[in-house]
Structures are given as C-alpha cells and as structure tokens.
Amino acid sequence: MSEIEFRVWHRKEQKMYYRGYQKITHVLLCEPDPQAHQGKGIPIKHASYADCEFMQNTGLKDKQGREIFEGDFVRVRWQDKTAEGILEEVPDMFKSRGLHPLHQLLFQAGIPDKAEGLEMEVTGNRYASS
C-alpha cells in the first residue's frame, strides 16, 4: 500500500507547507527538497494540530507535473467535456471502492471514472492561485 501524503495549510502563518506529518503531540511541517529524504521534504518546524489544515494528495499529477491535492481548483478535459471545480475530498482514500480520485468533478461533467487520456490542470487552491 502506498503512503498517504498530505500538504498542510498553517493558519497562523497563512502559509502552505509542502508536507505535513502527524505526530502524537504535534504536526511536523516540511519544505520541499526533491533530492533529500526520498522527496518527503525537509523538516522545518513543529505546529499545533489546531493551527493546521491537512489536504490529502490524490496520487495524480496535472499536465505541468504538479501534484493534485484536496483543496485544489482543478480543470479536467476529456473529449468534448470539461469538469472544473474545487476538489473537496479524495472520495476513496484506500481505493477499496475503485473510485477515481477526482470522482465528484468527473461525475458532474458526465466523464466516466475509467476514462483514459484525461487532461488535468491545477489552476490554484482555496488559499492561493497558481
């Protein structure tokens, strides 16, 4: 099973952190460094759970190679259809139901979960635009 990854919005700082790791008493916030720690990021600081909002990684990347997370504004094109909106939650975290990570957006536009050749683009997130 693959590791579930999260980025974290730190409310007090109004800053997005590349990764956040849940510890018993705190959240470990990390900045990106693809060359170190197998891409898990460089630990920067500890934060209170109350100050953090976790956003789960979908495991997908957009056409620019950006990871797609909960809280992202996403545009998906497939054939003559376009789905656009905010990804509120990954609907099938453990992949037990076989739903696409962008299921709700795809469903609203009439795009099947199993559609191949989706063109995905992150256009921002609920805290900042790209």
19 plus 35 within the same structural domain: yes
35 plus 89 within the same structural domain: no
| CB of 87 closer than 8 Å to CB of 105 | yes
* CA atoms within 13 A of residue 49's CA, in its CB half-sphere: 5
95 plus 48 within the same structural domain: no
* Cα Rg of the chain, angstroms: 15
The structural domain count of the chain equals 2
Kindly tell me if the per-residue pLDDT of 105 is higher than 90: yes
Mean pLDDT, the chain, as a whole number?
91
35 plus 75 within the same structural domain: no
Q: Quick check: is 1 in a domain?
A: no
pTM of the model: 0.89
46 plus 67 within the same structural domain: no
Mean of the pLDDT values across residues 60-78?
Answer: 96
18 plus 31 within the same structural domain: yes
In which domain, by residue range, is 14 found?
A: 6-54
